[in-house]
Amino acid sequence: MRRAIYPGSFDPVTNGHLDVIERACTLFDEVIVAVAINDQKQPLFAPDERLAMLRNAITNDNVRVAPMEGLLVEFAASENAHAVVRGLRAISDFEFEFQMALMNRKLDPDIETIFLMPKEEYTYLSSRIVKEIAKLGGDVSALARKFRIKLGEVAPIT
């Protein structure tokens, strides 16, 4: 089985994330969306909220959402995954992602990193921007489909 990990903080999940997940599903039999739990970061949403947002937003049966702590390569090995999927929006993303991919390869040469570009309409989109708009009371429903995200509140669109 071809299994890949798509790691991230997903704070919050955006349409760009969902697009990358859909693209990864065409390449792999199973995609595990790994929600990074990092005590050193100050996320807007708690880990359980981020996990719930993803589970509610993903409709593909070949996708599993799981919390992840520690090293990505260790998580991938524990899930018997041999690929890591990362989204690239712009050249500015590439340098950081390239360094991470090389370090992951050094830690575990059996893990390959696959870079996927989202649809052009999502290249400007980031969780940081969505959080900023939400914190200032703006409507982010067009940026983070299926959710109305307000500071301290996540509600599925019905």
What are residue 3's DSSP bridge partners? Answer: 30
Cis peptide, bond prior to residue 118, ω within 30 of zero: no
Angle at 92 between CA 89 and CA 97, to 5 degrees: 80
Among candidate residues 9, 86, 127, 131, the one labeled active-site is 127
Q: Decide if 41 is catalytic.
A: yes
The reply to whether 82 belongs to the active site is: no
Neighbours of 137 (CB within 10 A): 8
The single residue of 3, 89, 105, 148 carrying the catalytic annotation is 89
Contacts of residue 119, Cβ cutoff 8 Å, sequence gap at least 6: 19
Residue 78 annotated to the active site: no
Tokens (6 digits) for 96:
């950081």
Considering 17, 23, 86, 131, which one is annotated as catalytic? 17
17 is catalytic: yes
Active site residues: 17, 41, 89, 127
